[in-house]
Amino acid sequence: MAPQPRGSRTFRPLTAPAPVTVARVRQGRGGGIVSATSTELTGVRLVPLTAHADDRGQFVEVFRDEWPLDLRPVQWNAVRSRAGVMRGVHVHVGHHDYLTVLAGTLVLGLHDLRPDSPTAGRSAMMRIDADDPLAVSIPPGVCHGFWFPVPSVHLYGVDRYWNLADELGCQYDDPALGLDWALDTTPSLSERDRVAPDYATMRTAYLAATAR
């Protein structure tokens, strides 16, 4: 996949996209309108954020309880990544993720592992830049990997307290994921991601966990 232009928010579907719908909610004082837009992967939502900038820097509101999202984060985490870092691919059995980029650039790869989803087996990729604020809500059962081409900081919230047992993973470049990272260098991985199983093993573990 060729790199997308700076600021591009377009998902690149590898199969025909599902219909796109838009839900809107009015923010509170000082707000405006926030739209949460569905993507071609069922349950994945894009939330455009507004940056208020002056000569001191900028302010961005990243989350409100009243926004039209199917999650209420109970834990927030900030992560700093060096250039060339790959995180994932991971999938959660029971919790949503809500993420945005505070500095740098994140290339997001997604794959729908849910067997009963209308978009099961579909994959998509997008780029999120800190200077074009955007949040993404990722439901349980949607695999996600993060590639950082430049030094970056991202913030993510989860609607259950983080639990290692709730996270499965596989090799980021497994062909079954259908994710073309178009890397020009060997990525830096955690030891856990380096020894992660293949896609088939992850899928079997996910199906067993969700069948309980």
pLDDT digit string (tens) for 100-111? 999 999 999 999
Report the distance separating Cα 63 and Cα 47, nearest Å: 9
Report the distance separating Cα 51 and Cα 199, nearest Å: 38
% of the chain residues with pLDDT over 70: 82
Report the distance separating Cα 31 and Cα 15, nearest Å: 36
Q: Inform me whether the pLDDT recorded for 84 exceeds 80.
A: yes
Q: What value does the mean pLDDT take over residues 6-14?
A: 39
Active-site hit among 98, 156, 172, 206? 156
Q: Inform me whether the pLDDT recorded for 7 exceeds 80.
A: no
Whether omega before 89 lies within 30 degrees of 0, making that bond cis, reads yes
Q: Inform me whether the pLDDT recorded for 135 exceeds 70.
A: yes
Report the distance separating Cα 135 and Cα 140, nearest Å: 17
Q: Inform me whether the pLDDT recorded for 35 exceeds 50.
A: no
Q: Inform me whether the pLDDT recorded for 189 exceeds 50.
A: yes
pLDDT of residue 94: 92
pLDDT of residue 16: 30
Active-site hit among 90, 96, 144, 154? 90
| 3-state SS, residue 125 | strand
Assess whether 199 carries a catalytic annotation. Answer: no
The CA angle 167-41-33, to the nearest 5 degrees, is 105
What does the pLDDT look like over 36-57, one tens digit per residue? 455 789 999 999 999 999 999 9
Q: What is the dihedral of CA 7, 42, 120, 147, to 10 degrees?
A: 30
Comparison of pLDDT for 42 and 26, the residue scoring more:
42
| 22-210 topology per CATH | Jelly Rolls (2.60.120)
Assess whether 111 carries a catalytic annotation. Answer: no
Q: Inform me whether the pLDDT recorded for 14 exceeds 80.
A: no
| 3-state SS, residue 201 | helix
Arithmetic mean of pLDDT over the chain = 84
Report the distance separating Cα 147 and Cα 207, nearest Å: 26
